[in-house]
Amino acid sequence: MGIEGRGTDRAGRRRKRFLTPSEKYEIWLQLLRGEITISEAADRSGVDRSTVMKLRMVAKQGALDALAQSRPGVKANQVDPELAAERAEVARLSEALKEMGVRLMLVEGKGGLPACGLDPV
């Protein structure tokens, strides 16, 4: 097979070439900055123009999806250690309060205040 046969299949079409994520990103950045056209990007990377156009659409949609999910000032999926510790403390105190309420009810009975000498109002 000669030089002219390189990179093509038997029908004379380009062989399918898969771009790495970093190659896709670089192409997208160059397109975004206006450094190259879609045709130039396709020729340089050895892919069809439709591949570059699809790459551009996918990158745009991915960026829009990410922006739609983000909320300014909120760090995604990060646990604040102080907040986690305070929530654990609240849960611990809630359980202790429940236990104390049960003990108080058992000691004084269901009537409540008569054990301390006061009449209920």
Sketch the domain layout of the chain as residue ranges.
8-69, 81-110
Bigger pLDDT: 17 vs 38: 38
Question: What are the distances in angstroms from CA 83 to CA 41, 53, 71?
Answer: 49, 46, 19
Confidence at 61, pLDDT banded by 50, 70, 90: very high
3-state secondary structure 12-64: CCECCCCCCHHHHHHHHHHHHHCCCCHHHHHHHHCCCHHHHHHHHHHHHHHHH
The pLDDT tens digits for 101-112 are 998 888 887 665
Token reading at 119? 């009449």
Confidence at 85, pLDDT banded by 50, 70, 90: very high
| Residue 120 scores a pLDDT above 60 | no
CB atoms within 10 A of CB 48: 14
* Mean of pLDDT values over 22-48: 93
Torsion 39-45-50-52 (CA) sign: negative
